[in-house]
Structure formats: C-alpha cells, structure tokens
Amino acid sequence: FFFFFSTLEKQQSTMPVSDDGVVFGEVNEKNLNLLKLLNASIFPVSYNDKFYKDLLANVELTRLAYFNDILVGAVCCRFEPNKSGTGCKLYIMTLGVLAPYRKMGIGKKLLSYVTNVIAPKRNDVEEIYLHVQTSNDEAIQFYKKFGFDINGKIEGYYKRIDPPDCY
C-alpha cells in the first residue's frame, strides 16, 4: 500500500487546460469504450463492467487526459470509509499514461488533480492510497517522488499476472 497523509485545503475545481496540448475531460457514455481500451493498453489486469458502471455513477472522480485530442491517460478514484469510523480514504483505483506519452508531466497533472481537486471534495479525507505491482519500478519511483510511501506488501493481490503481489 502507498499512503499519503496530508492536510488538504479546498481549491477551486477548474478544468486544467494548458499550452502544452494536455486537456482534461470527464468520462461519459460516449468515451467509456476509449477508457476501456486505454486501461487495457496500460494495465496488466482487466476491469469488469461494474468498475466502468461505477465510474459513470461518479464522473467527478475520474479524469481523462488528452494530448492533442488523443486520449493518452486517465485517473479513476473512489472514496472509502476509514475502518476507524471517522473520516475517509481516497483510493486511486487506476492512474496511467500510455508509454509514449510518459515523462511529459501528464501523470503529474493527473496526480495533482487527485490531490488538489478530487480529495478536497470531502472535508474528511485522511489519506490517499493505491496499489502498485511490486515489479513496477517506474510507478513506484513516480509515486515516491510525490510523497507516497510503501506501507506494506500484499501477497497474491493480483490474479493471473506475475508477480501477483503489490505494495
């Protein structure tokens, strides 16, 4: 697990548009199949129809990243209650960018959107966390750069991929 503890302040929810060709958009029925293709291209696991149906039910928790009108990345999150019964956690279910578009700051912008726009939607977010396959050194280094720490290893988390373990 990665955990990121932070005092989160409310910020205005603006649609990030930049002069570098990166534009964020919402997920909807029309672009959902593009998101499915993107995720199939980036991640070694597949996501079921319920995963995508839940995204459409909470569109404010997902952002698509377009570079020159091409879908190249996305982040999908959900809020979860804390086991303590107070506050909540923000789980980054997926955050990915197609390989040719990495190192362009798109992942950083998606993660910034999570911390600066999605997380402040609730006043009680106490942590932000995600899972990363133990062999995904590139992703591990990316998240460490932004203050995430490894908090433990879950053996056998993933099915039908090797290694099946995650942090």
Q: Would you name the residues annotated as active-site residues?
A: 91, 131
Quick one: three-class SS letters along the chain? Answer: CEEECCCCCCCCCCCCECCCCEEEECCCCCCHHHHHHHHHHHCCCCCCHHHHHHHHHCHHHEEEEEECCEEEEEEEEEEEECCCCCCEEEEEEEEEECHHHCCCCHHHHHHHHHHHHHHHHCCCEEEEEECCECCCHHHHHHHHHCCCEECCCECCCCCCCCCCCEC
